[in-house]
Amino acid sequence: MIDIKLIRENPELVKENIRKKFQDEKLVLVDEVAEMDTQYRAAKTKGDGLRADRNRLSKQIGGLMKEGKKEEAEQVKQQVKNIGQELEDLEVLEQKLEADIRERMMVIPNIIDPSVPIGKDDSENVEIQKYGDPVVPDYEIPYHIDIIEKVAGIDLDSAGRTSGNGFYYLKGDIARLHSSILSYARDFMINRGFEYFIPPFMIHGSVVNGVMSFAEMQNMMYKIEGEDLYLIGTSEHSMIGRFMGQILKKEDLPYTLTSYSPCFRKEVGAHGIEERGLYRVHQFEKQEMVVVCEPEDSPYWYDQLWKNSVEFFRSLDIPVRTLECCSGDLADLKVKSCDVEAWSPRQKKYFEVGSCSNLGDAQARRLGIRIKGENGNYFAHTLNNTVVAPPRMLIAFLENNLNEDGTIRIPEPLRPYMGGQELIKAPETKKSF
């Protein structure tokens, strides 16, 4: 959510930002907010004047009564009563205008960084840099589910019976590999000075509204029936919510946090759910990075966060690239964002495995996260980035570490988490369950 001062002082800047995001249908909101804001401030000014009049007149009543001027006192009492009724009507109007303004402000997009490339959708995102050499071996790389099934590491049929499409059972060495990747990611971030958290996996609606747009919420979040609770789609939600309504001390900043959680997503949209794949699923686990910092420090932390992801994947010998998200691909709360994509030898192309975002003060403004300053309090900046989400990372990992004989190489950094194991191979006796 942007500062309403921008609409008061520079509405054309806000409108031009909307045009850059190809959301022209929202242009009318700027004029509506400007008009409502004028009405709201006029009502507030009138209300302040009426309250002053009421206080002044109320003081007169006692004096008139002492002087025995009961008739005049009754007239003043009636004036006070009339003012009270007018104030009640004004307060109702103020509340309605305030709610209408907030409703519109919540869907006016954040002001994007000047460096963001202009484009309509993700097809116009811009490659920044490649890291590592993408290799296509001279033997066939099967579909990732076929790789996992060959080493008896997944049970989709049972998941289909218990839960439907978009769910899976991992088992054996693949389940252990999945957990090892998360454990390695946890320690990777702790070693970089990030504090480790396991947050609540459910949050109130007020937090959901603070961390994401309504459209995102509708497409992503699962609501607990009959309760004001939502299953988180990423631990960023509860981690940012942790600071809700807080005034932070400058000396405590920045907060650099890394958090583990399961994630739950409807995945409503054009991509749908793959019946046999792990790329887009309803439930997965993730290690996340979150930073809460001074406004002037957020560009620095943005660069640090995406670099952490690149270095994590490169430590496991997985080639990656970074893509700058264009204006039309940015969610409304984001100032700037880039995707980290891993190399797929099977598809001979890169695919998204994480996303790094600077949200400026948008989340902080919605959630009331302020920094105590010498000349008044001001809003913090928030950032987030994926360290690793193993379902997608597993795809990249398996394809880039598959040997010709069907065994899977375990890179050295993961071996301590796998009990020293160097290879994953098919079990000698394949069990049915």
**Domain ranges within the chain, ordered by starting residue:** 4-105, 122-424
State pLDDT tens for residues 275-325.
568 888 899 999 999 999 999 999 999 999 999 999 999 999 999 999 999
CB atoms within 10 A of CB 46: 15
Residue 273: per-residue pLDDT: 45
* Interior/surface letters 331-344, b for 16+ CB within 10 angstroms, e for the rest: bbbbbbbbbbbbbb
Q: Which whole-number Å values give the CA distances from 11 to 19, 23, 33, in the listed order?
A: 12, 15, 10
Q: Provide the pairing of β-strand 370-371 with 247-248.
A: parallel
Question: Which pTM value belongs to this model?
Answer: 0.89
CATH of domain 4-105: 1.10.287.40
CATH of domain 122-424: 3.30.930.10
Axis crossing angle, helix 172-190 with helix 298-315, rounded to the nearest 10: 140
CB atoms within 10 A of CB 48: 11
Three-state DSSP string of the chain: CCCHHHHHHCHHHHHHHHHHCCCHHHHHHHHHHHHHHHHHHHHHHHHHHHHHHHHHHHHHHHHHHHCCCHHHHHHHHHHHHHHHHHHHHHHHHHHHHHHHHHHHHCCCCCCCCCCCCCCCCHHHCEEEEEECCCCCCCCCCCCHHHHHHHCCCEEHHHHHHHCCCCCCEECHHHHHHHHHHHHHHHHHHHCCCCEEECCCCEECHHHHHHHCCHHHHHHHCEECCCCCCEECCCHHHHHHHCCCCCEECHHHCCEEEEEEEEEECCCCCCCCCCCCCCCCCCEEEEEEEEEEECHHHHHHHHHHHHHHHHHHHHHCCCCEEEEECCHHHCCCCCCEEEEEEEEECCCCEEEEEEEEEECCCHHHHHHCCEECCCCCCEECEEEEEEEECHHHHHHHHHHHCECCCCCEECCHHHHHHHCCCCEECCCCCCCCC
State pLDDT tens for residues 226-279.
999 999 999 999 999 999 999 999 999 999 999 999 999 987 544 544 556 888
Name, in order, each residue with C-beta under 8 angstroms of 251's C-beta and a sequence gap of 6 or more. Answer: none
62 sits in the region (left: phi over 0; alpha: psi -120 to 50; else beta) called: alpha
d(CA 303, CA 128): 12
Strand order in the sheet with 378-379: 247-248, 370-371, 378-379
User: What distance, in Å, lies between the first and last C-alpha atoms of the chain?
Assistant: 50
Q: Which whole-number Å values give the CA distances from 280 to 268, 272, 274, 422, in the listed order?
A: 10, 8, 7, 29
Q: Which whole-number Å values give the CA distances from 195 to 70, 253, 416, in the listed order?
A: 70, 13, 22
* Two structure tokens written together for 306: 């995406």
Residue 60: per-residue pLDDT: 86
Low-confidence ranges of the chain (pLDDT < 50): 269-270, 272-273
CB atoms within 10 A of CB 214: 13
- Residue pair 239/256 in contact (Cβ under 8 Å)? The answer is no
Q: Which whole-number Å values give the CA distances from 263 to 268, 280, 391, in the listed order?
A: 15, 12, 11
* Two structure tokens written together for 333: 């709360």
* Two structure tokens written together for 257: 């946090």
CB atoms within 10 A of CB 330: 21
Residue 371: per-residue pLDDT: 98
